[in-house]
């Protein structure tokens, strides 16, 4: 592939295409054999229409998709969908752009996928973000009305992100706080891995349904585990070897970054497995603690140096069940028999005693009479 | 003797020695069970834990921790629950119940400590517990151990006034008779020994007013410590997130354990009072028991609400109603506590000794089953592990419980523990 091809994602070789499909299949946690099904779906002629809206954001999510060293995911994604409206990518502008948005929404009503990038300001009727004279709030509502599903890409669209950080002057919120009647998939991250978007779209195209989501609306295949669970520095954590300061020997040795404020133990994402830029790097691999960008309560709510509470300090000590034989001694007939007898006797004695106890209201004299009576 | 200050200044009016025969048939039955239990404990220490127990690598905690420690200390919370009522809520008319409650608590906790010593794999390392530099202060288990030990001491001190007042009043008749009978044998000199007894009596007279002055601090400690470690007993299982069934594994475990020990505490105080009144043929403490029984429904309502709210919040309600093995035990535990509480909501039932007894049994069983569910029944380490206590293991627990009842029965006949009977002569005096 030529340099130009690489930079602008002009063409994708069959080899790169299959490699990316296999990677996306792996990200989804699907068996290897399904890669061909995924590849077939990616090549299907009926390309789903996609409308991509930008609100309060930095376009970092679009950038991370487009500027991957190997442009395959972006090319693949843009090839298999019909991107009808994307403010920073489309050639048209002004009324022409608005028209294409309008046309697509009408022509594909109820069928298109809406991808939202950026938070939506709500204070003072949302005047803090306007495109083409319409507030973000209005644009989102009208676009969402005809959408088959909504993907919130990035932490801003998912949870509000940096705009929503205190004191949140514009009243910024995520898509799920406004749109309640549509399936919403959150792909948080700052920025999220492009593979998570690619895999989500591919999953939808392959199986014609949404992937399984967690309580925060994130696909479980990508956000099902804490990054701590698959971190390459985890052995240092388990052994109690921690980097003490940036640049310190312990930092240079590659020790665990927890004490520098790594949010890995509380952050659900696949960064430690999927990594970034197609060359296997991610923040922790280059010595920076995880900042918890996929979690609404961590990034912009805790400082980078703050340590998260660890609820399960010991390693997960269960292994794949290789040996399924019954182990340990179960109940023996003698024990259960005696136990049953004892329990029965106790129950019987209790019942007998309950029978003998006086029912009804007791005056002091009655009680005494009865107690005297029993003495005789 | 008149004392002008101190919490137990009324104790001579409030408590009395139960004058009855000590060596009853039930005494011998309980003694036999106790001896079997302690013989098996000896076997455990000589041939190791595997000789008596079915515990394994999957289930390192068996019936000893589940019953003797986790459940036994809750059942021993009568002292805690009544102390809150008397000293925090200042309901002094419940004071007559406190000594017997404290006594059962003392045994419950002391023997929970003993059970831990039987249970730990390497008891010879236990001395480290007394060396502060060896402490692991972040451990919930350490907190439980420290509190159980401290609370046992506190309970012993709380019970001390009963022993002291007995020492002051006794005239050592039995001892005198014994010494006269064996005069000259074993090189015992009656007079010297009696003089020593007299010294002990003097010491008791001297120490009691001083103890009375500090007793309130001891009592405050006695209320603080169970609050701390009963919640920690719940915290212990927080770590088992992959092993404990989601019906029971929740961040609210500490709170649930704390409330649980309170309503078990009040119910066990009712049970204990009814059973000892019945067994010792004394009139029932109707008024106090009705009062205690009106507290439990509040506590169980809070407890059940937290539990159900938490299940809804965690999306486990369907699981709870799925009628599988775990759901069955959950519903049983829930049903026992709920039915006991509902019966108690009616004023008429609260005044009936029969219903008080039945509801207290239901609530104690339900509350105890909750602890069994958390520690044993809902616990599955996976990989095919299974556990059911062996007969020997059960007999050790039975022996410890039998010892508890035995010692209670003997001590109420030696020391002023039970409430004084008013308005008529004491039950037939036999021999102290």
B60 CB within 8 Å of a chain A CB: no
Contact check, Cβ <8 Å, B391/A360: no
Determine which of A77-86, A128-137, B38-47 has the lowest per-residue pLDDT on average. Answer: A77-86
Q: What is the pLDDT of residue B186?
A: 66
Band (pLDDT 50/70/90 cuts) for residue B429 is: very low
Beta bridge partners of A73: none
Instruction: Quote the pLDDT of residue A189.
Output: 94
- Per-residue pLDDT, A372: 45
Using CA atoms, how far apart are residues B234 and B250, in angstroms rounded to an integer?
10
Q: Where are the beta strands (DSSP E) in B207-328?
A: none
Written as six digits, the tokens of A176 are 């799920």
Which of the given ranges, B174-178, B269-273, B365-369, has the highest pLDDT on average?
B365-369
DSSP strands (E only) in chain A: 49-54, 82-86, 112-117, 120-121, 130-131, 134-135, 147-153, 172-173, 184-187
Alpha-carbon distance of A208 to B389, in angstroms, equals 52
pLDDT value, residue A38 = 82
* CB count in 10 Å sphere of residue A201: 23
% of chain A with per-residue pLDDT over 70: 87
| pLDDT above 70 for B9 | no
Q: What angle do CA B149, B152, B155 make, to 5 degrees?
A: 150
pLDDT score of B427: 46
Mutate to test the interface with A, among B61, B237, B353 (most CBs of A within 10 A): B353
Structure tokens at B47: 């041939």
Burial of residue A135 (number of CB atoms within 10 Å: 0-12, 13-18, 19+)? buried
- Residue B300 to residues B98, B264, B270, B306: CA-CA distances in angstroms? 22, 9, 15, 10
Interface test with B, best of A226, A335, A343 (most B CBs within 10 A): A335
Work out the angle at residue B6's Cα, subtended by the Cα atoms of residues B2 and B7, and round it to the nearest 5 degrees: 110
Q: Is the dihedral of CA B267, B270, B274, B277 positive or negative?
A: positive
| DSSP output for A232-283 | TTHHHHHHT-B--STTSHHHHTT-B-GGGT--GGG-B-SHHHH-BTTTTB-G
Q: Are B317 and B330 in contact (CB under 8 A)?
A: no
Q: Which residue in A has a C-alpha nearest to residue B351's C-alpha? A: A361
B195 Cα to chain A: minimum distance (Å): 40
* Residue in chain B lying closest to A316 (CA): B242
Q: Sort out which chain A residues have CB atoms less than 8 A from B284's CB and list them.
A: 358, 362, 367, 371
Q: In sequence order, what DSSP letters do the residues of A159-210 get, joined into one string?
A: H-GGGGSTT-TT-EE-GGGT--SS-EEEE--SSPPHHHHHHHHHHHHHHSSP
- Written as six digits, the tokens of A289 are 């603690």
Question: Per-residue pLDDT averaged across B161-168, rounded?
Answer: 84
Instruction: Say whether pLDDT at A374 is over 70.
Output: no
Residue of B283, B348, B419 to mutate, interface with A, max A Cβ within 10 Å: B283
According to the model, what pLDDT value does residue A256 have?
A: 95
Q: Which of A248-262, B56-70, B149-163 has the highest mean pLDDT?
A: A248-262
* pLDDT at residue A119, as a whole number: 95
Cα distance between residue B10 and residue A253, in whole Å: 71
Q: Nearest-CA distance from A295 to chain B in Å?
A: 19
Q: Of B2, B24, B23, B22, whose CA–CA distance to B13 is shortest?
A: B2
Residue B191 predicted with pLDDT over 70:
yes
Instruction: Name the least confident of A308-322, B127-141, B144-158, B308-322.
Output: A308-322
Q: Where does the pLDDT of residue A144 fall: very low under 50, low under 70, confident under 90, or very high at 90 and above?
A: very high
Residue of A nearest to B313 (CA): A215
Q: Is residue A373 pLDDT above 60, yes or no? A: no
**Tokens of residue B382, six digits:** 């996976």
Q: Does B166 touch chain A (CB under 8 A)?
A: no
| pLDDT on residue A363 | 46
Cβ within 8 Å of A, B 340-369: 348, 351-355, 357-358, 361
Residue corresponding to tokens 């004191």: A167
* Closest in A312, A314, A362 to B351, CB measured: A362
CB atoms within 10 A of CB A166: 7
- Containing H/E element for B16? strand B15-16
pLDDT tier, B425 (very low <50, low <70, confident <90, very high otherwise): very low
Contacts of A326 in chain B (CB under 8 A): 384, 386
Nearest by Cα to B369 from B338, B394, B391: B338
| String of DSSP letters for B293-329 | HHHHHHHHHHHHHHHHHHHHHTT-HHHHTS-SHHHHH
Per the listing, tokens 């049970």 go with B271
- Is the CB of B59 less than 8 angstroms away from the CB of A328? yes
Confidence band (pLDDT; 50, 70, 90) for A94? confident
Please state whether beta strands A184-187 and A147-153 pair in parallel, antiparallel, or not at all (unpaired): parallel
Closest residue by Cα to residue A204 from A19, A24, A12, A3: A24
Selected residue with higher pLDDT from B367 and B429: B367
Mean confidence (pLDDT) of chain B: 85
- Minimum distance, in Å, between the CA of residue A331 and any CA atom of chain B: 5
Is residue A4 pLDDT above 70, yes or no? no
Q: Which residue has the higher pLDDT, A200 or A73?
A: A200
Q: In terms of Cα–Cα distance, which of A141, A270, A100, A267 is closest to A200?
A: A270
Q: What is the rounded distance in angstroms from the CA atom of residue B69 to the CA atom of residue B109?
A: 8
Tell me the H-state helices in B72-139: 72-75, 78-83, 98-119
Please state the CATH superfamily assignment of the domain spanning residues B14-419 in this structure: Formate dehydrogenase/DMSO reductase domain (1.20.1630.10)
Residue with tokens 């003072």: A124
Residues of A within an 8 Å Cβ radius of B: 311-312, 314, 316, 318-319, 321, 323-332, 334-336, 338-339, 350, 353-362, 364, 367-368, 370-371, 374-375
Any A CB within 8 A of B184 CB:
no
Q: In the prediction, which pLDDT does A69 show?
A: 58
Structural tokens at position A213 = 């989501």
What pLDDT is recorded for position A71? Answer: 57
Q: Which long-range contacts (CB under 8 A, 24 or more apart) does B201-205 make?
A: B201/B167, B201/B168, B201/B170, B204/B163, B204/B164, B204/B165, B204/B167, B204/B168, B205/B168
Q: Per-residue pLDDT for A238 more than 70?
A: yes
Calpha distance B31→B25 (Å, rounded): 10
Nearest to A323 among B57, B361, B383 (CB): B383
Nearest residue on chain B to A363, judged by CA atoms? B286
Structure tokens at A322: 């290789």
Q: How do residues B279-292 score in pLDDT, each as one tens digit?
A: 878 888 888 888 88
Average pLDDT over chain A, rounded to whole?
85
- Domains of chain A, earliest start first: 3-221 (3.40.50.700), 225-315 (4.10.480.10)
- Residue B181 pLDDT more than 80? no
Note the pLDDT tens digit of each residue in B290-299.
Answer: 888 888 999 9
Model confidence pLDDT, tens digit, residues B371-393: 999 999 999 887 788 899 999 99
Q: Is the pLDDT of residue A371 over 60?
A: no
Distance from CA of A376 to the nearest CA of B (A): 10
Q: Does residue A366 surpass a pLDDT of 50?
A: no
Residue B278 near chain A (CB below 8 Å)? yes
**Residue percentage of chain B with pLDDT more than 90:** 31
- Report the chain A residue with the minimal C-alpha distance to residue B387: A330
| pLDDT-wise least confident of A165-169, B18-22, B33-37, B228-232 | B18-22
User: Which residue bears the tokens 């005069």?
Assistant: B183
In this complex, the residue of A325, A326, A375 whose CB is nearest that of residue B427 is: A375
pTM: 0.65
Whether the per-residue pLDDT at B8 is higher than 60: the answer is: no
Query: What 3-state class would DSSP assign to A16?
Result: helix
Tokens of B238: 């927080």
Q: What is the pLDDT of residue A313?
A: 67
Structure tokens at A98: 């608005």
Per-residue confidence band for A364, with pLDDT thresholds at 50, 70 and 90? very low
Tell me the per-residue pLDDT of B345-364, one tens digit each, with 9 for 90 and over. Answer: 888 888 888 999 999 999 99
Q: Are A158 and A191 in contact (CB under 8 A)?
A: no
Contacts with B381 from chain A: Cβ below 8 Å: 318
Q: Compute the distance between CA of residue A160 and CA of residue A170 in angstroms, rounded to an integer.
A: 11
Per-residue pLDDT reduced to its tens digit, B304-350: 999 999 999 998 888 899 999 999 999 999 999 999 999 998 888 88
Of A312, A331, A357, the CB nearest to B239: A312
Interface test with A, best of B361, B392, B420 (most A CBs within 10 A): B361
Contact criterion met (CB < 8 Å) for A329 and B239: no
Residues 6+ apart with CB under 8 A from A4: A10
What's the pLDDT score for residue B38? Answer: 94
| Distance in angstroms (rounded) separating the CA atoms of residues B187 and B164 | 29
- Among the ranges given (A84-93, A220-229, B26-35), the one the predictor scored with the smallest mean pLDDT: A84-93
Give dist(CA A312, CA A346) in Å, integer. 41
Could you give the CA distance from residue B117 to residue B104 in angstroms, rounded to a whole number? Answer: 20
CB contact under 8 A, A371 and B56: no
| Count of H-run helices and E-run strands, chain A | 15, 9
| Residue-by-residue DSSP string for B325-356 | HHHHHHHHHHHHHHHHHHHHTSHHHHT-HHHH
A:B CB pairs within 8 Å: 111
User: Is B277 in Cβ contact with A371 (below 8 Å)?
Assistant: yes
Q: Residues of chain B with pLDDT > 70: what percent?
A: 92
Q: Is B388 on the interface with A (CB under 8 A)?
A: yes
Whether residue A315 has pLDDT greater than 80: no
Cβ B351–A324 below 8 Å, yes or no?
no
Mutate to test the interface with B, among A328, A336, A343, A354 (most CBs of B within 10 A): A328
Q: What is the band of B302 on the pLDDT scale with cuts at 50, 70, 90? A: very high
B185 or A332, higher pLDDT: A332
**A292 and A302 Cβ atoms separated by less than 8 Å:** yes
The length of chain A in residues reads: 376
Whole-number Å distance between alpha carbons of A358 and A362: 8
> Residue B6 pLDDT > 70, yes or no?
no
Query: What pLDDT, on the 0 to 100 scale, is given for residue A295?
Result: 93
Residues of B in contact with A375 (CB under 8 A): 281, 427-428
8 Å CB contact of B283 and A368: yes
Report the alpha-carbon distance of residue A150 to residue B161 in Å, rounded.
73
What is the structure's pLDDT at A375?
40
Q: CA-to-CA distance for B205 and A222, rounded, in angstroms?
A: 74
Q: What is the DSSP letter of A224?
A: S
Say if residue A287's pLDDT is above 80.
Answer: yes
pLDDT at residue B281, as a whole number: 82
Which has the higher per-residue pLDDT, B369 or A41?
Answer: B369
């Amino acid at each position: 592939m030529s340099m130009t091809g690489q930079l602008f994602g002009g063409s994708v070789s069959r080899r790169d295409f299959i490699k990316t499909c296999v990677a996306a299949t792996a990200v989804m946690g699907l068996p290897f054999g399904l890669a061909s099904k995924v590849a077939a779906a990616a090549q299907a002629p009926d390309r789903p229409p996609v409308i991509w809206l930008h609100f309060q954001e930095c376009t970092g999510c679009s950038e991370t998709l487009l500027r991957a060293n190997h442009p395959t995911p972006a090319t693949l994604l843009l090839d298999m969908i019909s991107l009808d409206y994307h403010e920073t990518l489309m050639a048209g502008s002004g009324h022409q752009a608005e028209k294409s948005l309008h046309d697509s929404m009408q022509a594909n009503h109820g069928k298109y996928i809406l991808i939202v990038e950026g938070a939506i300001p709500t204070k003072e009727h949302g005047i803090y973000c306007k495109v083409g004279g319409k507030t973000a709030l209005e644009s989102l509502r009208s676009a969402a009305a005809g959408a088959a599903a909504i993907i919130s890409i990035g932490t801003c669209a998912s949870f509000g992100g940096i705009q929503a950080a205190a004191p949140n002057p514009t009243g910024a919120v995520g898509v799920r706080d406004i749109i309640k009647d549509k399936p919403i998939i959150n792909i948080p991250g700052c920025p999220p891995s492009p593979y998570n978007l690619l895999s989500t779209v591919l999953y939808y195209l392959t199986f014609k349904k949404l992937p399984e989501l967690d309580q925060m609306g994130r696909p479980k295949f990508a956000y099902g585990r804490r990054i701590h669970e698959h971190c390459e520095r985890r052995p240092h954590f388990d052994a109690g070897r921690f980097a003490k300061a940036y640049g310190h020997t312990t930092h240079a040795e590659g020790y665990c970054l927890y004490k520098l404020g790594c949010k890995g133990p509380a952050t659900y994402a696949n960064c430690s497995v999927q990594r970034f830029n197609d060359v296997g790097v991610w923040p922790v691999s280059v010595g920076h603690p995880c900042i918890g960008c996929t979690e609404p309560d961590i990034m912009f709510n805790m400082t980078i140096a703050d340590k998260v509470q660890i609820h399960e300090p010991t390693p997960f000590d269960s292994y794949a069940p290789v040996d399924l034989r019954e182990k340990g001694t179960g109940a023996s007939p003698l024990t259960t028999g005696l136990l049953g007898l004892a329990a029965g006797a106790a129950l019987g004695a209790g019942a007998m005693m309950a029978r003998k106890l006086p029912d009804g209201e007791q005056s002091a004299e009655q009680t005494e009479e009865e107690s005297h009576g029993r003495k005789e | 003797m008149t004392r002008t200050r101190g919490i137990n200044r009324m104790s001579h009016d409030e408590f009395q020695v139960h004058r009855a025969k000590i060596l009853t048939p039930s005494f011998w039955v309980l003694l036999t069970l106790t001896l079997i239990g302690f013989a098996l404990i000896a076997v455990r220490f000589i041939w190791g834990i595997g000789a008596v127990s079915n515990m394994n690598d999957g289930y390192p905690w068996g019936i000893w921790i589940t019953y003797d420690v986790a459940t036994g200390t809750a059942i021993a919370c009568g002292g805690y629950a009544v102390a809150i009522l008397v000293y925090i809520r200042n309901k002094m008319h419940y004071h007559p119940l406190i000594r017997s409650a404290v006594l059962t608590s003392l045994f419950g906790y002391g023997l929970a400590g003993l059970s831990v010593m039987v249970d730990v794999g390497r008891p010879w390392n236990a001395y480290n517990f007394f060396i502060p530099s060896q402490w692991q202060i972040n451990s919930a288990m350490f907190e439980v151990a420290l509190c159980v030990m401290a609370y046992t001491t506190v309970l012993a001190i709380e019970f001390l006034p009963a022993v002291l007042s007995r020492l002051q009043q006794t005239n050592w008749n039995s001892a005198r008779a014994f010494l006269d009978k064996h005069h000259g044998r074993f090189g015992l000199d009656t007079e010297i020994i009696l003089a020593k007894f007299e010294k002990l009596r003097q010491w008791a007279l001297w120490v009691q007013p001083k103890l009375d002055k500090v007793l309130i601090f001891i009592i405050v400690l006695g209320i603080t410590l169970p609050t701390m470690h009963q919640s920690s007993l719940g915290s212990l299982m927080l770590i088992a997130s992959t092993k404990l069934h989601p019906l029971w594994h929740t961040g609210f475990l500490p709170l649930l354990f704390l409330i649980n020990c309170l309503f078990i505490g009040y119910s066990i105080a009712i049970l204990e009072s009814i059973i000892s009144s019945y067994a010792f043929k004394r009139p029932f403490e109707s008024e106090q028991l009705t009062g205690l029984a009106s507290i439990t429904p509040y506590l169980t309502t809070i407890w059940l609400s937290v539990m159900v709210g938490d299940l809804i919040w965690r999306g486990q309600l369907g699981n709870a109603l799925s009628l599988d093995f775990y759901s069955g035990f959950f519903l049983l535990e829930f049903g026992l506590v709920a039915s006991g509480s509902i019966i108690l909501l009616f004023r008429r039932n609260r005044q009936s000794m029969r219903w008080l007894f039945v509801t207290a049994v239901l609530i104690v069983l339900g509350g105890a089953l909750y602890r069994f569910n958390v520690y044993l029944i809902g616990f599955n380490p996976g990989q095919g592990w299974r556990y059911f206590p062996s007969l020997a293991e059960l007999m050790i627990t039975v022996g410890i419980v039998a010892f508890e009842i035995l010692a209670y029965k003997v001590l109420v006949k030696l020391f002023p523990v039970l409430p004084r009977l008013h308005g008529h002569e004491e039950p037939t005096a036999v021999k102290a």
